[in-house]
Amino acid sequence: MTERVTIQDVARHLPSIARLRDVCRALAALEIVRHPAMAGGGEGTGGRAYDFLCGWRTGADVAVRRTGGGDGYAVAFTCYGALLLGFDHESPMSPYASAPPRVWPGVLDAVPRDFAPYVAEPPAFLAGPVPLVTACAWRAAEDDQWRTGEDIVFPAADSGSPTDDRDTGPDGADRLFRPLTDPAPAQSYARGTGMPAGAVREVYAYRPLDRTAVAELNPAADFATVATELERIGYPVAR
């Protein structure tokens, strides 16, 4: 059976806050180049798989991922640090697995008070009767590691969830956050999209995108449209 990976395992492989922000912006930039005609997601409600919203809340930006199947994550970058919220709708830890809905005990209980507003009012696709969260991690600006709830009692492997025996653990964290922990993210993204790996690596290296670079990634993309969207998410552009 596949090893059951949880957010507690994933947290040990997350990069620094600064690097995570760059990775999130790179993913959003690549989606813009790949799908320039799609509108920005506005709290993750658009058609692109990844987006980055500058000024999402006062003093806070947010990166979002939507899988298209009802799952996704949000990463809030604030003056206090960073907060990750993930939701796997098939997880036995889904709030909707209970009546009335409730967040699985321990997942959010230890979140520092500074991050509480971003839990209480997450991006729209994670909002519900209670926050739609099955996995959570956070890192204070002055901290040297990512943290999670320590007292989470994860459901047993025979919980009945179809995802629990596939490529994810009980909370979905491994699958949801894999783009953020992948040791070779450019190769993985290039392989999944057909974009040239060398050009994708340049985006992950946070190199400014000019007309030539955009054309290499997607010859059909209109540079002016792409450049405007890249500036919206704060990714560097060379016009």
What is the token pair recorded at 224? 């002016």
d(CA 177, CA 196): 23
Strand, helix or coil at 73? strand
- pLDDT tens string 37-90: 886 656 655 679 999 999 999 999 999 999 888 899 999 999 999 999 999 999
d(CA 4, CA 8): 11
Q: Are 92 and 171 in contact (CB under 8 A)?
A: no
- pLDDT tens string 162-176: 444 445 689 999 999
pLDDT at residue 1, rounded to an integer: 34
Q: Which of 35, 25, 19, 21 is nearest to 214 (CA)?
A: 35
Instruction: Fill in the amino acid letter for 237.
Output: V
**What's the whole-number mean pLDDT along residues 12-22?**
97
**What's the whole-number mean pLDDT along residues 129-139?**
97
pLDDT at residue 167, rounded to an integer: 52
pLDDT at residue 163, rounded to an integer: 46
pLDDT of 160 strictly over 60: no
